[in-house]
């Protein structure tokens, strides 16, 4: 009999890294618990309450008995609403049906379902870089290889077909897309998106299009893949209610994909989590179907994000920092002042220790000489934090 057990990570998670965005938030919380005043611009979480009509609909649903398991793939009215929404964007003859929708516990689970169902050992998946930290880990958890395709900072890090093609091999099976982007705030124009979808179709690649920020766009509406796609038999659209409706805690996301893939993801989810929380599905249904009262709140949240962006950007740029102008989502991506292989992490540490501001090092997004600042916080906090960022940058020396 063994004397004691020592945990050794299995092959499945041997290479797994903790989510750096969550790690920074935890460090900030620990400092707060010690009594330090911290401005936390690490997390990508809207600071607004879920709109009241959605909360009321959820409460009513619970009173009416929405307390039991549902179908693994989610309640039909929600999947119908998601399909109807998709069909407003997609003009092809193959209309989106509810059978092609799988509702999950947040778009994070939807993305993971898709990665596991589509990719496996020996497969390569192109990941435009910088990208949200979890793509690399999810592809790895599927035992496939994430291939970083670095965008050009001068183009806001956006990639194009030539750049993607240059990283392709016969093992390439798919591609992650995210517009508007976390962490850059970049938004692909319709023609840019279409060109990438065309390349993927030509090469036989799957496209996983993460559109969680698609409603948060400051200029023209950000196009989703279904707005420009001429076919969708290689397309998985991922979305959810977390960001646009300030519903992070409700944990509802979904995939729209061809039916056989939806069936496979559904089978996978049936053995991992089953259905997403029933009350949350009813809340999401309200978000998508209540219309004017909810839409007005979404618009006012987006307007507020824009106000914060416009108030803070001149402070950062005035300090001589290189900042990408976000056209969507709610992040500033900033070239870290200072030099060295991990200038971003050094800057984040200095900022947290000296000025009590938590932001995320670019290493989380595979660009270690950048940092990400979330402006999903009160304007006064965002502005104050940016002044502090400017101070530390001036100390370290910009440029």
Ligand X SMILES: Cc1ncc(COP(=O)(O)O)c(C=O)c1O
Residue nearest to ligand X according to CB distances in the complex: 106
Least distance (Å) between residue 46 CB and ligand X: 11
Contacts to ligand X from residues 108-127, by CB under 6 A: 108
Least distance (Å) between residue 248 CB and ligand X: 5
Least distance (Å) between residue 344 CB and ligand X: 18
- List the x/- string, 350-369, binding to ligand X by CB under 6 A: --------------------
- Are 332 and 156 spatial neighbours (Cβ–Cβ below 8 Å)? no
Q: Which residues pair with 328 in a beta bridge?
A: 217
**Cα atoms in the Cβ-side hemisphere of radius 13 Å centred on 271:** 6
- List the x/- string, 40-59, binding to ligand X by CB under 6 A: ----x---------------
Binder to ligand X among 107, 184, 217, 257 (CB under 6 A)?
107
How far is Cα 335 from Cα 275, in angstroms, rounded to an integer?
Answer: 41
Residue 217 is given by DSSP the state B
How far is Cα 26 from Cα 356, in angstroms, rounded to an integer?
Answer: 14
Binding of ligand X at residue 182 (CB under 6 A)?
yes
Least distance (Å) between residue 250 CB and ligand X: 9
Contacts to ligand X from residues 7-26, by CB under 6 A: none
Question: Which of residues 145 and 182 has its CB atom nearest to ligand X in the complex?
Answer: 182
Closest of 101, 333, 91, 112 to residue 210, by C-alpha: 112
Helical H segments across the chain, by residue range: 20-33, 52-63, 76-89, 107-118, 133-141, 161-166, 190-203, 225-228, 259-272, 278-289, 292-318, 343-355, 379-396
Contacts to ligand X from residues 200-259, by CB under 6 A: 210, 212, 240, 242, 248, 253
Question: Which of residues 111 and 382 has its CB atom nearest to ligand X in the complex?
Answer: 111
Residues binding ligand X: number (CB under 6 A): 13
How far is Cα 132 from Cα 19, in angstroms, rounded to an integer?
Answer: 10
User: What residue has token string 């304007």?
Assistant: 379
Token duo for residue 308: 């914060």
Q: Are strands 172-178 and 124-129 parallel, antiparallel or unpaired?
A: parallel
User: What residue has token string 């707005």?
Assistant: 227
- List the x/- string, 262-301, binding to ligand X by CB under 6 A: ----------------------------------------
Question: Which of residues 98 and 253 has its CB atom nearest to ligand X in the complex?
Answer: 253
Stretch that binds ligand X, among 104-112, 115-123, 292-300, 345-353 (CB under 6 A): 104-112
User: What residue has token string 């998670």?
Assistant: 13
Binder to ligand X among 132, 206, 332, 365 (CB under 6 A)?
132
How far is Cα 288 from Cα 149, in angstroms, rounded to an integer?
Answer: 34
Question: Which of residues 212 and 261 has its CB atom nearest to ligand X in the complex?
Answer: 212
344 Cα distance to chain centroid? 21
Question: Which of residues 41 and 315 has its CB atom nearest to ligand X in the complex?
Answer: 41
Least distance (Å) between residue 287 CB and ligand X: 13
Question: Which of residues 164 and 360 has its CB atom nearest to ligand X in the complex?
Answer: 360
Question: Which of residues 250 and 392 has its CB atom nearest to ligand X in the complex?
Answer: 250
Stretch that binds ligand X, among 63-71, 87-95, 106-114, 310-318 (CB under 6 A): 106-114
| Cβ-proximal residues to 260 (8 Å cutoff; 6+ apart), any chain | none
Least distance (Å) between residue 104 CB and ligand X: 8
How far is Cα 126 from Cα 372, in angstroms, rounded to an integer?
Answer: 22
Q: First and final CA of the chain: distance in angstroms?
A: 62
- Are 94 and 144 spatial neighbours (Cβ–Cβ below 8 Å)? no
Question: Which of residues 50 and 178 has its CB atom nearest to ligand X in the complex?
Answer: 178
369 Cα distance to chain centroid? 21
Question: Which of residues 123 and 210 has its CB atom nearest to ligand X in the complex?
Answer: 210
Least distance (Å) between residue 304 CB and ligand X: 19
What residue ranges bind ligand X (CB under 6 A)? 44, 106-108, 132, 178, 182, 210, 212, 240, 242, 248, 253
């Amino acid at each position: 009999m063994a004397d004691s057990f020592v945990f050794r990570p299995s092959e499945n998670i041997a290479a797994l890294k903790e989510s750096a965005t969550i790690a920074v938030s935890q460090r900030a919380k620990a400092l707060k618990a010690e009594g330090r005043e911290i401005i936390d611009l690490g997390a990508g979480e809207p600071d607004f309450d879920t709109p009241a009509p959605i909360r009321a609909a959820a409460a009513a649903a619970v009173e009416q008995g929405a307390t039991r398991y549902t179908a693994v793939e989610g309640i039909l009215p929600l999947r119908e609403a998601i399909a109807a929404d998709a069909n407003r964007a997609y003009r092809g003859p193959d209309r989106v049906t509810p059978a092609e929708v799988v509702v999950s516990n947040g778009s994070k689970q939807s993305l993971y379902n898709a990665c596991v169902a589509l990719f496996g050992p020996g497969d390569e998946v192109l990941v435009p870089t910088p990208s949200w930290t979890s793509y690399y880990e999810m592809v790895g958890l599927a035992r496939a290889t994430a291939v970083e395709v670095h965008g050009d900072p001068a183009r806001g890090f956006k990639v194009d077909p030539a750049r993607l093609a240059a990283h392709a091999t016969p093992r390439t099976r798919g591609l992650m897309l995210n517009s508007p982007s976390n962490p850059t705030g970049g938004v692909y124009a319709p023609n840019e998106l279409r060109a990438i979808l065309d390349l993927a179709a030509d090469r036989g690649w799957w496209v996983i299009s993460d559109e969680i920020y698609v409603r948060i766009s400051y200029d023209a509406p950000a196009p989703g893949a279904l707005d420009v796609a001429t076919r969708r038999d290689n397309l998985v659209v991922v979305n959810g209610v977390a960001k646009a409706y300030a519903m992070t805690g409700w944990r509802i996301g979904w995939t729209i994909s061809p039916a056989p893939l939806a069936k496979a993801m559904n089978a996978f989810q049936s053995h991992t989590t089953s259905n997403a929380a029933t009350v949350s599905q009813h809340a999401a249904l309200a978000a998508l179907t209540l219309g004017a009262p909810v839409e007005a709140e979404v618009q006012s949240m987006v307007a507020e994000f824009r106000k914060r962006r416009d108030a803070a950007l001149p402070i950062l740029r005035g300090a001589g920092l290189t900042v990408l102008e976000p056209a969507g989502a709610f992040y500033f991506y900033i070239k870290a002042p200072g030099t060295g292989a991990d200038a971003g992490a050094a800057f984040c540490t200095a900022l947290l220790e000296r000025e009590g501001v938590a932001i995320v090092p670019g290493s989380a997004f595979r660009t270690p000489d950048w940092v990400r600042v979330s402006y999903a916080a009160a304007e006064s906090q965002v502005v104050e934090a940016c002044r502090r960022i400017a101070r530390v940058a001036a100390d370290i020396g910009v440029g």
